[in-house]
Amino acid sequence: MKLRTKLIISLTMVIIFMGLFQSLFFQSRIEKTFENYLSESDEMKVDMIKQAVSSYYVSTGSLEGVDRILDFSNRMDMGNMMGHMGGTLEITILDTSGEIVVDTTTKSMEDKYSSVEEPLIIQGETIGTFIAYLVKSDSVSRLEQQFVQSVNITILLGFLVAVLLSLIIGFFLSKRITKPLTQLVSGIEQVSKGKTNFRVTINSKDEFRKLGDAFNKMTETLERTEHIRKSLVADVAHELRTPLAIIRAKLESIQAGALEATEEVILSVSDEVYRLSRLVNDLQQLSLAESKTLPLHKEQTEINSFLESVLSQFQWFADEKNIKLYFMKNSTNVFLNIDRDRMTQVIVNLIGNSLRYTPKHGIVTVTVKQEDETVVLCFQDTGPGIDEEKLPFIFERFYRVDESRKRDESGAGLGLSIAKSFVEIHGGDIKVKSSKGEGTTFEVILPQE
């Protein structure tokens, strides 16, 4: 059953339930109100007749002939009006000895109707017993039935109108609710078929809008991930193909006698083998780091001296490009529990990128700062900077900011991915800030254990 149908049925059922409830509730209330009204009317008539009997006794000193007073009271206009409103009263009056003085009831009425039995007391003296039988008139019963019927018809009409309105409102409301769901279902079906570029447009300002935005972000991530996957396969194939092609060509040339196996040729082949081995090793290390299974051999290390020893190996490169390489130590010794080999690779990748992309006569500054319970290693250069739209992707595998660079100049594009993964398995984080034409700053944040 469709969601729209379920919503319409649910609304209709609620309206039906409320209509039945109102009908039963109002009918019960009306009957109770009528009963209260008739009871008050009968009590007033009983009091009036009792007063007439008491006045008769005071004036005559006896209850004999009091039936004339009862007939007179029943003929009074007020009595007739009350009779129409509350029904009729049948009276029985007993004297002090229990003998019947007046009896206007019919046979066996005592078994058919409820009665009011009260003593007749005049000036503190009990002169007899007053018994009144309340009989609801047919006109009152018809009036009550007509009123209840009128209310039920009104409720029924209101109920039918409410059902009709609920169907109309339910139709449009369900359409408004199910439309974004239909779009999302269609989007999911498209994505399941591999169309990760599919997007949904939901104009409502509610949870469905948030759900649509989340879906679009998910598809964007899937699209980017799919692109990375395809690029990864292509890049790995390319990285492996180039050195393999070189090795194969030289070996075939040597085998055919077109090329002598000189030391220079063998060294060239060894370089390509080393390049292959390094690429495979980098991919393996990256895979282990991302899966949190890379073994670490941590030891307490003083960061100032450790960083200084690594940077000293790049001084020649900086001098060759006329780049000023500054190292700003922390004012006090800072100790971290790190894997020196893994962290050396992080520093080498970051400082290597800074020196590689900084033009001649530029400046590269490395700073050690202690903040709260963390140590921040800052690598800042005056290079060309990175476009803002490219910053989120620089840590992805084989991603190159400048696609025009040759692979042998810029590497395989795994350096920053490896650096990020190695920092993260140390429980730290790596951040980048860059503005086009103003240089780039990498911050390695490591916790002090």
What whole-number distance in Å separates Cα of residue 416 and Cα of residue 444?
A: 12
Per-residue model confidence (pLDDT) at position 409 = 46
- What Cα–Cα distance (Å) separates residue 49 from each residue in 40, 73, 104, 158? 14, 7, 13, 45
Q: What is the DSSP letter of 299?
A: E
Least confident of 51-65, 291-305, 319-333: 51-65
Q: Could you name the CATH architecture of 3-141?
A: 2-Layer Sandwich (3.30)
What whole-number distance in Å separates Cα of residue 262 and Cα of residue 271?
A: 14
What whole-number distance in Å separates Cα of residue 290 and Cα of residue 127?
A: 109
| Beta pairing, strands 363-371 & 324-328 | parallel
Q: First CA to last CA across the chain, in angstroms? A: 58
What whole-number distance in Å separates Cα of residue 74 and Cα of residue 69?
A: 9
Question: What does the pLDDT look like over 190-226, one tens digit per residue?
Answer: 888 878 788 888 777 777 788 888 888 888 888 877 7
Beta carbons within 8 Å of 273's beta carbon, 6+ residues apart: 243, 247
Q: In this predicted model, which residue has the larger pLDDT, 72 or 13?
A: 13
Confidence of residue 113 (pLDDT cuts 50, 70, 90): low
Residue 343: pLDDT above 50? yes
- The helix/strand/coil state of 93 is strand
**Per the structure block, which two tokens stand in for 56?**
């008769």
Per-residue model confidence (pLDDT) at position 80 = 45
Per-residue model confidence (pLDDT) at position 82 = 41
- The helix/strand/coil state of 413 is coil
Mean pLDDT of 418-423: 88
Per-residue model confidence (pLDDT) at position 399 = 66
Beta carbons within 8 Å of 256's beta carbon, 6+ residues apart: none
Confidence of residue 293 (pLDDT cuts 50, 70, 90): confident
Q: Is the Cβ–Cβ distance between 71 and 52 less than 8 Å?
A: no
Question: What does the pLDDT look like over 138-157, one tens digit per residue?
Answer: 666 676 677 767 777 877 78
DSSP assignment of 35-49 equals HHHHHHHHHHHHHHH
Which pTM was predicted?
0.48
Per-residue model confidence (pLDDT) at position 351 = 92
**Closest CA relative to residue 7, chosen from 168, 220, 193:** 168
**Per the structure block, which two tokens stand in for 124?**
């503190």
Residue 81: pLDDT above 50? no
**Closest CA relative to residue 16, chosen from 143, 139, 181, 156:** 156
Per-residue model confidence (pLDDT) at position 144 = 66
Domain ranges of the chain: 3-141, 207-290, 298-447
**Closest CA relative to residue 281, chosen from 424, 273, 230, 408:** 273
What are the b/e assignments for 135-165, b being 16+ CB within 10 Å? bbeeebeeebeeebeebbeebeeebeebeee
Per-residue model confidence (pLDDT) at position 2 = 67
What whole-number distance in Å separates Cα of residue 424 and Cα of residue 26?
A: 71
Per-residue model confidence (pLDDT) at position 223 = 81
Q: In this predicted model, which residue has the larger pLDDT, 74 or 163?
A: 163
Per-residue model confidence (pLDDT) at position 27 = 67
| CATH 1.10.287.130 matches 207-290 | yes
Mean pLDDT of the chain: 78
- What Cα–Cα distance (Å) separates residue 446 from each residue in 307, 336, 338? 14, 8, 9
| CATH 3.30.565.10 matches 298-447 | yes
Residue 322: pLDDT above 80? yes
DSSP assignment of 420-439 equals HHHHHHTT-EEEEEEETTTE
Per-residue model confidence (pLDDT) at position 85 = 47
